[in-house]
Amino acid sequence: MLKNIFRLTILMMFVMFGLQSCDDDSSITGGGVNPEPELVGCEAANLYDWASVEFETSLDAGASTWLAFDLTETTLFTVSINQAGFHGLMFDGCDGEFGTPPALYDFQTNGNGVEVGIVTEGLYYLKITNTRPNRLDFTFNISLDDIVYGCLNNDAINYDETANVDDGNCTFNDCNTEWYTANYGDMVLDCDGNCSPVNWVGDGWCDDGAYGIYPSEEAYNNYVECSNTGGEECNQYIVVINLWCIEQNFDEGDCEVIDEECAVNEIEDCNDNCAPAVWIGDGACDDGTYEYNGNQIFLNCDEFNNDEGDCDVLGRTTETRPYPNGRIKIQ
């Protein structure tokens, strides 16, 4: 009798344990379906059509967004974001949440279109980051252009103004000929790529195209012969010298400086560098912390009311702010 009771008790324990095991999910160690991992970074990028992508959105300070593009042909592309202060990185692959290094292109937006470069057929990932300290609304689009190869150096004699991609075949004047050395000494390329005497630079005369030199003995003889009977047509034997450009420091001061104006919707900051007009009083103190077109932007001066108060939280500037390379501001 006791043996039967013991056996029955053991059987009931097994049944109860089995029922509990079936009801308790925590005891199941295999055979379940794992949830899909959340996609982040370039993995979560939306795929767009290069030829028609355009949208409006916002990004918080320091936030990033990813876009992906599947290109079927080689092209030159330009990214347009109507706000300055965005940092762009282009990758040709996605490695986890990050683009496959190194980045193909690294650029800053300036509020207008930025010609980024050439891309061939393939899948690309673009990361856009808001580098400004406040949330920004912006419009994004990409434009594609046909590639025109040619020489892009305007100092070259075969400069092609219609080209948008350099072909690496620029040709320059030879300024070390025996004629030049014997008659003019050392030479330098002028603003138009012509050979100019070095001693003409900063010699007190403004060489803005009013003067020229003979490029060869043959040209000299032809000019002498022509000048006996001719007039303006004799100028064909003279190379006009132009040193009136920023590259030659406006003939090292001999010529009047040409003021290059800022683009539409830009202003000159405290250091006369072009900056977006919308940065004035936008809630961020522009005290050199942020860059635009490669220049640190300063709006924390009296001219801009200390960035219209944006820099007041740091205390209004009272000391003289230094200018680059030892410059002294003329009042």
Dump pLDDT digits (tens) for 14-31.
Answer: 445 454 444 444 443 444
Please give the sequence-ordered ranges of beta strands (E in DSSP) within 113-218, or none if there are none: 113-119, 122-130, 136-145, 149-150, 165-166, 187-189, 195-197, 208-213
pLDDT value, residue 28: 39
Dump pLDDT digits (tens) for 85-121.
Answer: 899 999 999 988 888 889 999 988 888 778 788 888 8
Rounded Cα distance, 64 and 87, in Å: 9
Both tokens of 42, joined, read: 């370039």
Please give the sequence-ordered ranges of beta strands (E in DSSP) within 157-227, or none if there are none: 165-166, 187-189, 195-197, 208-213
First-last CA distance in the chain: 117
Has this prediction a pTM greater than 0.85?
Answer: no
Domain boundaries, the chain: 41-145, 178-252, 266-326
CATH value of 41-145 in 3.40.50.620, 2.60.120.380, 3.40.50.300, 3.20.20.140? 2.60.120.380
Degrees, nearest 5: CA angle 211-212-214 = 155
| Separation in Å, CA 307 to CA 133, 290, 316 | 14, 13, 10
Instruction: Say if residues 273 and 279 touch (Cβ distance below 8 Å).
Output: no
Rounded Cα distance, 127 and 293, in Å: 19
| Helix %, strand %, coil % of the chain (to 5) | 25, 30, 45
> Which residues contact residue 293 at a Cβ distance below 8 angstroms, ignoring those fewer than 6 apart?
108, 110, 273, 274
- Tens-binned pLDDT, residue by residue, of the chain (331 aa): 544 544 545 445 544 545 444 444 444 344 455 566 677 889 988 888 776 778 888 999 999 999 998 888 888 888 888 888 899 999 999 988 888 889 999 988 888 778 788 888 889 999 999 998 888 888 888 877 888 999 998 888 888 989 988 899 998 888 888 999 899 999 999 988 899 999 999 988 899 988 999 999 999 999 888 888 777 888 888 899 999 988 888 999 888 877 667 887 888 899 888 888 888 988 888 888 888 887 889 999 989 999 988 887 544 343 444 443 333 333 3
